[in-house]
Structure 1
Amino acid sequence: MDDYEITYVRDFRQYGRTVKASSFAEAESLCNEGEFVSGLVVHVSQADEQLVSDMRKRVGEAVREVAHG
């Protein structure tokens, strides 16, 4: 059995969950309404805390730039 990511969007945010299935078709059968299989999960890694902090800072800067034009 492989891990597949099921993705869904609620209130302009994208969420995901992982299911175990033996095929893409089986993973699709596990979807609830409004969900879709985004693909096979190949690799998952733990993010370095410094990397997470830097990314949050960059996203915050980008949001301010867009908000202020």
Structure 2
Amino acid sequence: MDNYEITFIRDFRQYGRTVKASSFAEAESQCSEGEFVSGLVVHVSQADEQLVSDMRKRVGEAVPEAAHG
């Protein structure tokens, strides 16, 4: 069995959860209303603390830019 990511969007935010399934169709059958299978989860690794800090900083800088067009 493989891991598949199921994604859904609520209030302009994207959320995901992982399910175990033997095929894409089986993963789709586990979706609730408004959810879709975004794909096979190939690899998950633990993020380096410096990388996490840098990404949070970049997201914080990008949000005001997007908000003001």
Q: Same fold (TM over 0.5)?
A: yes
Structure 2: stretches of 5+ with no match in the other structure: none
Matched with 2:66 is 66
Poorly superposed stretches of 4+, deviation over 3 Å: 66-69
What is the rounded CA distance, in whole Å, between the counterparts of 1:67 and 1:40 in structure 2? Answer: 32
Q: Does structure 1 residue 4 correspond to structure 2 residue 25?
A: no
Greater alpha carbon shift after TM alignment, 55-64 vs 19-28: 55-64
Q: Alignment identity in percent?
A: 90
The equivalent residue for 2:44 is: 44
Give the C-alpha shift of residue 68 in structure 1: 4.5
Q: Whole-Å Cα distance in 1 between the matches of residues 39 and 61 of structure 2? A: 31
**Residue type matched to 1:47 in 2?**
A
Aligned residues: 69
Task: Quickly say closer, same or farther: Cα 1:51–1:33, change in 2 above 3 A.
Answer: same
Cα RMSD (Å): 1.2
Cα drift, residue 67 of structure 1: 3.6
Q: Which moved more, 1:58-67 or 1:19-28?
A: 58-67
User: For 2:45 and 2:6, how far apart are their aligned partners in 1?
Assistant: 18
